Amino acid sequence: MGGRRYGSQRMTADRYSILFEPVAIGPVTAPNRFYAAPHATGHGWNQPHGANALRGMKAEGGWGTVAVQMTEIAPDTDMASHPMERIWDDSDIPRHAAQVTAIKKYGSLSAIEIAHGGMRARNFTTGKSVIGPSSLPILRPEVPAQARAMDAADIKSFRESHKAAARRAKAAGYDIIYVYAAHDISILNNFLSLRTNQRTDEYGGSFENRLRLIREVLEDTLEVAAGEQAVAIRFSVAEPGKPGGLRHDGEGRDVVEALAELPDLWDVNISGWSNDSATARFAEEGFQQPYTEFVKSVTSKPVVGVGRFTSPDKMVSLIKKGHLDLIGAARPSIADPFLPTKIREGRIEEIRECIGCNICVSMDAYGVPVRCTQNPTIGEEWRHGWHPEAPAISKQLQSHLIVGAGPAGLECAVTLARAGHEVTIADSARVAGGRVTREASLPGLASFIRVRDYRVYQLSQSANANLYLDSAMSFEDIEAFEADNIILATGASWRADGVGSSQFEQRELTRFNVLTPDDIMDGALDKLSASNITVYDDDHFYMASCIAEAAAVAGHKVTYLTPLPSIATWTDFTLDHQRIIERLASLDVSMLPNVSLGSDGAFKQSLSGEILNVESSALVFVGARKQNDEMFEALNEGRAGGVYRAGDCLAPGIIQAAVLSGHSIAQQILNQKIPTRKREQISLQAV
């Protein structure tokens, strides 16, 4: 067996060897084609240790180039509650030098994305006026502020600020310095766009005039770099869905052609953020390629692009077809910082694939360190010393019984097993995965199954872990098992009594045939003939919209009601909001916001007070959930060992929270010294 494994690894290494070729980027050379693209970490300038450890982990994991997120060049580009990096003055240099050291420790190139937010800045903390090419409202409709049109002196000052920031980046030791002209979070994009540039001077009007500032800043940065650092430009070649926006077959291409040989590296994507970071529900791996693949035919300089790449075969194909020189990744590098190393070592099955859920993106809305459904260690590399691959340090080996093989139970089991502990997982279902297996059957959520598959595979490779399915555990069974620790990861069930985010009291719903998401995932739609179905969303994430979509596709007439003023409100944070509305509209789903559910079960238009006549064959109530933790108190009473609840069994939440909960409990156990108990294993049918 060992010989076959070695041969398999060698064949895999040969197959993907092109990904590990060095790539010259101007005066520097990337050791391989894996490029950890700029993205926010949520640490910002005032939490440098967290940011340094996170990016250092990517370098350790084999990313040949590791880029730092948008870094503000001056006080007049203060992004306020979005924690960005800063390089405002020389006092910022030591902090960046430490970051460079963390990245270069493992031989990676370090890149910094210096930028001015232009009409996306807010300047709440600095009190500066927002600046842009024209006097227009800033590009944040929720903020009552307007940008001041820059005059010649302002433009000169901006160029000087950018050059000064580049000099500081050079002093800090970065290998690649960015000119950021992507998205509308860039003053350079603001000058290029006809929407935001209404000038009539040499910086407005014609294409050449609107391009002028980008060209000047590129030339300024190349002057500062002086052939010692590479200069990259990050540019969005298209703005799909934006009226009058850039097109890859229009001015987007014209920009690349006009500046083709000027920078040392082209980092290309699409805009805005909801396009650039589309979720797996609405975009497949490599979704940006139809827009960006032309760039290599226009320039001789290396090109990096993104598209939620997780498949090494896809990566190889992109290189061989001449679409990209470097494989860019933000979200996949968060989900698995060691993705390159696993490919190099032929451990493809062990890649922790990004599921494209955008929980990482959602954290930016709150200005907090990044989180990930697949990787619970992200953002905790420094604070807790967590590592995504290395086994946790264990003070004492123990035995553990985990009841429930959902996301929390599986993550807890993997973490304990890696530390050498004896782990048994039992689940009453015939298939592992709990809620992720069930939810993956809903429209657009198939990638959720990766949460299960990665962890089940890890357990299958562990000699000290056993997974038993179709094995319901009674109180007596659990007690007879005599494990040192018991972890209940039995999930939660959707409520059917009217309790939800906006209403904490139960409602009288006997007038309806009430179904819950659990019923839908159990196949209830298949038992209903074509009829009217009402979906009431008092959860406000993706679940209700997925059910409405599934029902509409199955031929039902669907009405979607919600007490909030908008549809699937929280999906705005995951960048799905507008696409969900468009999808439901395309399926003729009637969407009615501001509809409350009365104590008598009547629906009322909150604004007008009008009672709605809702007649339907079924009401799918999507509200709160109830923990399945009935055995916890009984098991905990008088036990010498530990009894824990994990995931939704502890507190119902999103899948990311369940995975983090399972990991946290495992870490807690590994750092405690608890007396072991003699264990007599009960008989279970092994998987």
Tell me: the pLDDT tens digits for 322-339? 999 999 999 999 999 999
Residue predicted with more confidence, 225 or 122: 225
Which runs of consecutive H residues, i.e. helices, occur in 46-135?
Answer: 48-60, 93-104
d(CA 683, CA 481): 9
Environment class of residue 252 by beta-carbon count within 10 Å: exposed (0-12), middle (13-18) or buried (19+)?
buried
Which of 132-141, 198-207, 283-292 shows the lowest per-residue confidence on average (mean pLDDT)? 132-141
DSSP letter, residue 379: T
Mean confidence (pLDDT) of the chain: 93
Cis geometry, peptide bond prior to residue 601 (ω within 30 degrees of 0): no
Most confidently modeled range among 41-55, 335-349, 611-625: 335-349
655-687 residue pLDDT tens? 999 999 999 999 999 988 655 444 333 334 434
d(CA 91, CA 69): 19
d(CA 95, CA 50): 12
Q: pLDDT value at position 58? A: 98
Q: Please, are residues 75 and 91 in contact by the beta-carbon 8 Å criterion?
A: no
Q: Please, are residues 421 and 400 in contact by the beta-carbon 8 Å criterion?
A: yes
Looking from the CA of 329 toward its CB, the CA atoms found within 13 Å total 30
Q: pLDDT value at position 679? A: 38
SS3 assignment, position 23: strand
Q: Average pLDDT for residues 550-577, to the nearest whole number?
A: 96
Q: How many CB atoms lie within 10 A of CB 685?
A: 8
Domain at 495-626: CATH architecture:
3-Layer(bba) Sandwich (3.50)
| Residues paired with residue 178 on neighbouring β-strands, in sequence order | 232
Q: Please, are residues 543 and 516 in contact by the beta-carbon 8 Å criterion?
A: no
216: tokens are: 């000047």
Q: Please, are residues 595 and 610 in contact by the beta-carbon 8 Å criterion?
A: no
DSSP letter, residue 283: -
In percent, the amount of the chain with pLDDT more than 90 equals: 82
Q: Please, are residues 146 and 137 in contact by the beta-carbon 8 Å criterion?
A: yes
Q: For the chain, state the CA radius of gyration.
A: 27
d(CA 678, CA 400): 12
Binned at pLDDT 50, 70 and 90, residue 640 comes out as low
429-462 residue pLDDT tens? 999 999 999 999 999 999 999 999 999 999 999 9
Q: Please, are residues 246 and 238 in contact by the beta-carbon 8 Å criterion?
A: yes
SS3 assignment, position 6: helix
Q: pLDDT value at position 593? A: 97
Binned at pLDDT 50, 70 and 90, residue 60 comes out as very high
SS3 assignment, position 642: strand
Domain at 2-366: CATH architecture:
Alpha-Beta Barrel (3.20)
Binned at pLDDT 50, 70 and 90, residue 638 comes out as low
Q: Please, are residues 184 and 193 in contact by the beta-carbon 8 Å criterion?
A: yes
In which element (H, E) is residue 14 found?
helix 2-15
Locate the domains of the chain by residue range. 2-366, 399-491+629-670, 495-626
Looking from the CA of 186 toward its CB, the CA atoms found within 13 Å total 27
| Residues paired with residue 232 on neighbouring β-strands, in sequence order | 178, 265
Environment class of residue 249 by beta-carbon count within 10 Å: exposed (0-12), middle (13-18) or buried (19+)?
exposed
338-391 residue pLDDT tens? 999 999 999 999 999 999 999 999 998 888 999 999 999 999 999 999 999 987
Residue among 92, 93, 161, 91 nearest 121 (CA): 161
Q: pLDDT value at position 673? A: 62
Alpha carbon 157 to its chain's center: 36
Give 383's contacts (C-beta < 8 A, 6+ positions apart): 49, 50
In which element (H, E) is residue 551 found?
helix 543-553
pLDDT at 99 over 70: yes
Amino acid at 267: D
Q: Please, are residues 621 and 597 in contact by the beta-carbon 8 Å criterion?
A: no
Which of 81-85, 101-105, 279-283, 663-667 shows the lowest per-residue confidence on average (mean pLDDT)? 81-85
Q: Please, are residues 270 and 291 in contact by the beta-carbon 8 Å criterion?
A: yes
Q: Average pLDDT for residues 76-81, to the nearest whole number?
A: 85
pLDDT at 80 over 80: no
Q: pLDDT value at position 685? A: 40
DSSP letter, residue 454: H
**Phi/psi-derived region of residue 671, left when phi > 0, alpha when psi is between -120 and 50, beta in every other case:** alpha
DSSP letter, residue 84: -
Estimate the crossing angle of helix 152-172 against helix 207-225, to 10 degrees. Answer: 30
d(CA 406, CA 455): 10
Domain at 399-491+629-670: CATH architecture:
3-Layer(aba) Sandwich (3.40)
133-162 residue pLDDT tens? 999 998 888 888 899 999 999 999 999 999
The widest CA-to-CA distance across the chain, in whole angstroms, is: 84
- Going by their DSSP bridges, the two strands 625-627 and 618-622 should be labelled as unpaired
575: tokens are: 């960048």
DSSP letter, residue 524: G
Q: Please, are residues 34 and 238 in contact by the beta-carbon 8 Å criterion?
A: no
| DSSP, residue by residue, 204-245 | SSSHHHHHHHHHHHHHHHHHHHTTTSEEEEEEEEE-TT-TT-
Identical fold, 2-366 and 495-626? no
In percent, the amount of the chain with pLDDT more than 70 equals: 96
Give 249's contacts (C-beta < 8 A, 6+ positions apart): none
Q: Average pLDDT for residues 309-316, to the nearest whole number?
A: 96
169: tokens are: 């980046």
| Residues paired with residue 207 on neighbouring β-strands, in sequence order | none
What are the Cα distances from residue 228, in Å, to 161, 225, 474?
20, 6, 68
Phi, psi of 559 (to 5 degrees): -115, 125
Q: Please, are residues 190 and 183 in contact by the beta-carbon 8 Å criterion?
A: no
Residue among 279, 361, 360, 288 nearest 327 (CA): 288
Residue carrying the six token digits 């990209």? 324
Give 394's contacts (C-beta < 8 A, 6+ positions apart): 419, 420, 421, 670
pLDDT at 510 over 90: no
- Going by their DSSP bridges, the two strands 603-605 and 611-612 should be labelled as antiparallel
Q: pLDDT value at position 205? A: 96
d(CA 485, CA 636): 10
Q: Please, are residues 397 and 372 in contact by the beta-carbon 8 Å criterion?
A: no
Q: Please, are residues 654 and 357 in contact by the beta-carbon 8 Å criterion?
A: no
pLDDT at 487 over 50: yes
Q: pLDDT value at position 665? A: 96
Q: pLDDT value at position 174? A: 98
